[in-house]
Amino acid sequence: MEEMKLVSVVQTFESIFDEMGIDVSHEASLYYVASIYYTPMSFTEMYRKAKRIRKSISERALRNGRNALMDNGLIAQVLFVHGSDTRFGTEPYLPVNPRIVVEVYTEYLKDIYSDEDFSIRNRDVGEIHGIWMENFGRHGIRIEKGSVTLRYVDTWVLYNLLGAIGGFENTTISMMLGGIDVFKDVYKAYYSHIIQQGSKIRAIIDRNGEAEGVKRLKMEYGDKIEVKYMPSEDYGTCRQILFDHDWALDGKELLLSDRSGPSCIGTIYIREADSTALSRNNFENIWRTHSPC
């Protein structure tokens, strides 16, 4: 992409990040776009590239932007527990799918930009989404088989989930969640699409008091969704998401004293049959012993 287009894309995501409440929205947007377009590279190289887009940016400001992206679930950090891997470079962060971010905030963008301006910006985001696909793959983690361990917040997993589910048909998505926030109305189109493709959803939640929300889900999705409640004290802070035998996340929510910063650590398995089977057996054991909400 030409640098002028990158400036436009940075401005588009700056608007979204500002709406999210990110104080350093421009710095965060600059790092986010650079991390998609220029990966993999070191932070020093990333900083040099970022200065081409905004000459006045400082290294400290760019780091602040990166930290804000981590705190808000727009990037996840790769942890090299499986050994060093040059595919991720020395700046090992995975940005969420830019197309999903824009789709979630489309109505907001349409409110602040003219129809013509929105159309141009949407086209430019489409181009950088293509670059994201080339650099990070359809799973968003740069590999098509194997495992990657990450530090992240729940929002990163949600956006990764929304980006992944479109490619699955006639499958069962099984999830262990804190609550049902992943089924907010703004995300409804994604779930409706996969259900129309023959898929089903099973969710185990540990947050009581969601009766009205669960009732709404059953009215919207009928027998295509099942929800069960199990108190967190029964299984700790485990978090899992599984797509049949191809894709699995086995995670854990960290117990942080101040609840600030990335709050989860987990491993994503792609086409790793043995690891996925272990996660699935764990989920099935829990699922069988609890009643529907």
Residue ranges with strand state E in 137-253 = 146-152, 172-177, 200-205, 225-229, 238-243, 247-253
Give CA–CA dist 70/252, Å, rounded: 17
**What integer pLDDT is reported at residue 102 of this predicted model?**
96
**What integer pLDDT is reported at residue 256 of this predicted model?**
66
Name the pLDDT band for 2 (thresholds 50, 70, 90): low
Name the pLDDT band for 28 (thresholds 50, 70, 90): very high
Phi, psi for residue 94 in degrees, rounded to 5 = -115, 110
Question: Span 227-236, mean pLDDT?
Answer: 79
- Out of 239-248, 262-271, 274-283, which region has the weakest mean confidence (pLDDT)? 239-248
Residue type, 4: M
To the nearest 10°, the Cα dihedral for 276, 279, 283, 284?
Answer: 60
- Out of 18-32, 176-190, 233-247, 268-282, which region has the weakest mean confidence (pLDDT)? 233-247
Q: How many C-beta atoms surround the C-beta of residue 100 within 10 A?
A: 21
Asked if pLDDT for residue 248 goes beyond 60, the answer is: yes
97-134 per-position pLDDT tens digit: 999 999 999 999 999 999 999 999 999 999 999 999 99
Domain 146-288, second-level architecture? 2-Layer Sandwich (3.30)
Question: Span 46-50, mean pLDDT?
Answer: 92
Question: Span 272-280, mean pLDDT?
Answer: 91
Top pLDDT among 165 and 103 is at 103
Question: Where do the H-state alpha helices sit in the chain?
Answer: 3-20, 25-37, 43-53, 59-71, 98-104, 106-112, 115-136, 154-165, 188-196, 211-221, 273-288
Structural domain boundaries in the chain: 3-75+92-136, 146-288
**What integer pLDDT is reported at residue 40 of this predicted model?**
83
**What integer pLDDT is reported at residue 82 of this predicted model?**
64
- The answer to whether the CB of 164 falls within 8 A of the CB of 247 is yes
- The answer to whether the CB of 247 falls within 8 A of the CB of 270 is yes
Give CA–CA dist 86/250, Å, rounded: 24
Question: Span 141-151, mean pLDDT?
Answer: 92
Name the pLDDT band for 259 (thresholds 50, 70, 90): low
Name the pLDDT band for 86 (thresholds 50, 70, 90): low
Question: Span 174-202, mean pLDDT?
Answer: 88
Give CA–CA dist 162/175, Å, rounded: 13
Name the pLDDT band for 159 (thresholds 50, 70, 90): very high
pLDDT cut 70: percent of the chain above it: 94
The answer for residues whose C-beta is within 8 angstroms of residue 137's C-beta and 6 or more apart is 143, 144
Asked if pLDDT for residue 244 goes beyond 90, the answer is: no
Name the pLDDT band for 165 (thresholds 50, 70, 90): confident
